[in-house]
Amino acid sequence: MFCYKDHIEEQYKISNIIFDDAIFDDKLYLTSLGGVKKIKQIKELEIDIIISIMDENPFVDDNKNFINYTEEYKDIEKIFFKASDEEDFDISVFFEPFHKIINENPNKKILLHCYAGISRSPTLILSYMISKNIENYTLHELIKKLKKCRFIIDPNEGFIESLKNYIIKFQK
């Protein structure tokens, strides 16, 4: 049974991604735009980098979803990937840049978000899981594992195809 209240609470939650501890080591978090606005929790988690993957940069003040970060967010590095949540959008162009940020910042905590934390940002995390997939999980198994951290994830069909193509790259 789907509960709307639980769905909204999950959408604004900041979820710690736990998958094969050696990969993430309590350093990768997933949320929505609403979760990014929870500055108190972000400070408690000691987030170092916020990566936004959205149509518009939420840290630019001409955006309707503007987050005023002048003081509270000033010590947090902000990175923006411009991406729409459309099935024909090629999200794979952000796979390697996202992985590079994680790999080049091994001691930093990273918070990744899109507008709802359902499609774009989980797709990037799934791509990273694929790149580190030592035990050769299927995409379906990886999605199930990620849903244990954030049950509302649901990458659109175009993003699923991008992930399937990415898996093929690692099978060669």
- Catalytic residue numbers, as ranges: 114
Answer for the pair 16, 98: CB distance below 8 angstroms, yes or no: no
Answer for the pair 91, 161: CB distance below 8 angstroms, yes or no: no
Q: How far apart are the first and last CA of the chain?
A: 41
Q: Nearest-CA neighbor of 58 among 43, 46, 76, 44?
A: 76
| For helices 139-149 and 157-171, angle between their N-to-C axes, nearest 10 degrees | 120
Six-digit token string for 58: 């939420």
Q: Which residue has the tokens 């997939």?
A: 133
From residue 11, how far is each of 78, 127, 136 by CA, in Å? 21, 21, 29
